[in-house]
Structure formats: C-alpha cells, structure tokens
Amino acid sequence: MNIVEATLERIKPVSPQLLEQAQGRLDIKTKPLGSLGRLEEFGRRFAAISGTLNPDTAKKVIFTFAGDHGVTDEGVSAFPKEVTPQMAFNILAGGAGVNVLARHAGAEVRLVDVGVDYDFNGVEGLIDRKVARGTRNFAKGPAMTRDEVLAALKVGIDQADQCKAEGVAMAGTGELGIGNTTPSSAIIAAISGIPVRELTHRGTGINDAGLENKIRAIEQGLAVNRPDPKDPLDVLTKVGGLEIAAIAGLVLGCAANGIPVVVDGFISTAGALIASEMHPHVRDYIFAAHASVEIGHRFMLERIGATPILNLDLRLGEGTGAALAMGLIEAGVKVLKEMATFEQAGVTEQL
C-alpha cells in the first residue's frame, strides 16, 4: 500500500453529532436563531472537523505550491515561465500578495517547490520537494508519469501530516506557476464533459486571439490524451500539474488528519476537485475561499458541493483568497467559543 492509498483509508466522515452539538451551542447565544448567517456554518463545521466544541485557531499556515508547465510552449500565457522563479523569490522575501494578506490574517506562508524549472540552490525559506522540472506539454502527450503524480501527491500529504504534528489548526492552499489555469481548465473539462470553451478564461490576461489559442491547446490535449473522467489520477497524470497534484495531496492529508483546509481559487480548486473525486468524504473538510473570475471555477465548486465564502473578483492565486477567508472562518469559531448565551448574559430568550 502506497502513502496515497494509506491516506485515503484514514479519511472518515465528519461527525454529524458534533455538527449538531455545535449548532445547539450557537442556538443559545444572545441572538435570533441563525442571525449570524454563514459565520455560524463556519464555526459549526470547523468544530466538527477539528473534533472538538472548543477548537483552537491560533496556528494557520498557507502552503503555496510552485510548479512549471510544459503547455506554456503552446503560448497559452501572457507571461513567460521565467516569472515562476522570480515570483518565488518575491514570496520568500515577503513581498507578494499572499504574504501581505497572510500577515493580515495572522497566518504563515510556506512556499513548496514541487516542480519549478529552476535550480534554487537551497535558498533559505524554500521547502524543496521538487519532483521534476515542470510538466511536459500535454498538447502533445501526457503531462506527467503516474510515478510523478504519486510523488507530487505525497509532497502535499507530507505537509498535512507535518501540520498535524505541529498542531496547525487550519491549512490553506495556494499555488504559483505560469500557465496553470490551462491544466485547471483541462481538468474540469475532462471530469465534467463540459465543452472547453465554457470553462476557459483569460488567466493572467491574454487577449482574444490568445484565448482562442488556449482553448485550442486544451482541446488538442484532451483529444491526444483521452483522460478517463472516472479516474481522477488518470486526468491528473495526462493534463494536470505538479503543484495541482501537491494541492490534491494536501487536501487529502488534511481530511485524513481532521484539519480544516481553506481552498483558494481556480487552480487550487482543481487540486481539491481531484481529491474530492478520489474520496467522497473529502468535500466535508473543505472551505471554499472565494469565487474566482475564471469561468470554470463555478463548475468545479458545484461538483465538489462547496459554496464560496467571498466574491471579490479575485484571480491572483498564491493563496490570497485563502488568507482572506481564514479571518471569517476564525470569526465564526470565535462566535461559537466566546459569545455569551442568554443564560450567561441574563437576557430573555425569544418566545
């Protein structure tokens, strides 16, 4: 049994009893029933996932997985792949969007190199788990081998296991990789059967001609590789990405360890979708951070069964949306833990 199979065996349903008990506590707080809306949902679910009605939220970590993509050879991005390592150094220096928003949320950012086509030479702060120097061009053949996919999944699972060992209360997903909206659109197209044109958007800002070319490359990749929609690992192997695989591994690992996982935008949700297709209970551990501008994101969220927390027209990635959503999830937990009951406050309950 490999680590992926072992992790899948560890995933259990979230306790319906704890969900009910948490809601019971929320219902006796000094407020009309349900009046704090989705904050109550966040608190209830966080408690049930964590296995306690008094969950800790102190330690929060966002994992930004980085990888390059061979399909950029098809001209699908407005930026060259050299930007991937350049942005990695920006994150390590604390200057990227995810760094700013994570600091605001009180979260740590950990950058994991799972597939950047660059030698970082052991730079301080980088978690070096490189599986390969990018994927292959999936418009011409499979993006990865099965062994590469399993190795990248293990990278994410290992981070989740480390979170459990460290007492991390909440994990967030993020990504970095020029061209990675292309495999993300390919993944949801392969799994859903929805036409590529209805799932593909402008990524980093390509023009109309660039968008047509991106659609062509994805359609060509699906035709060449014929991924099996019933086999999420086959889809991931043929048209996915190393960082997407690592995100899938992190989500699986968080579910196995009872850690709430906040999934960022379009690319992160591609990884979460793969994880959800691999095990039916994974979706219960996921908080969807936001609704991305990328048009394929809605279909991913619908398939997972997740309702996004925010809708701010975000499309940066990195884990930026996850950082923002963490604050609202934590607010919901604090309502559960800190808000007075009618009895404690001496307030008459509603009739």
Q: Which residues are catalytic?
A: 318
> To the nearest 10°, the Cα dihedral for 223, 225, 231, 232?
-100
Q: Residues with Cβ < 8 Å from 302, sequence gap 6 or more?
A: none
- What distances in angstroms separate CA 186 from CA 47, 90, 138, 235, 236, one per listed residue? 35, 28, 10, 9, 9
End-to-end CA distance of the chain: 57
DSSP state of 261: E
One DSSP character per residue, 191-229 reads HH---GGGT---TTT--HHHHHHHHHHHHHHHHHH---T
Q: Residues with Cβ < 8 Å from 203, sequence gap 6 or more?
A: 76, 77, 78, 179, 181, 182, 214, 294
Structure tokens at 65: 């997985």
> To the nearest 10°, the Cα dihedral for 70, 71, 73, 75?
-150
How far is residue 65's CA from residue 67's CA, in Å, rounded to a whole number?
7
How far is residue 77's CA from residue 302's CA, in Å, rounded to a whole number?
26
Angle (CA) 290 293 298, round 5°: 65
What are the phi and psi torsion angles at 155 (to 5°)?
-55, -50
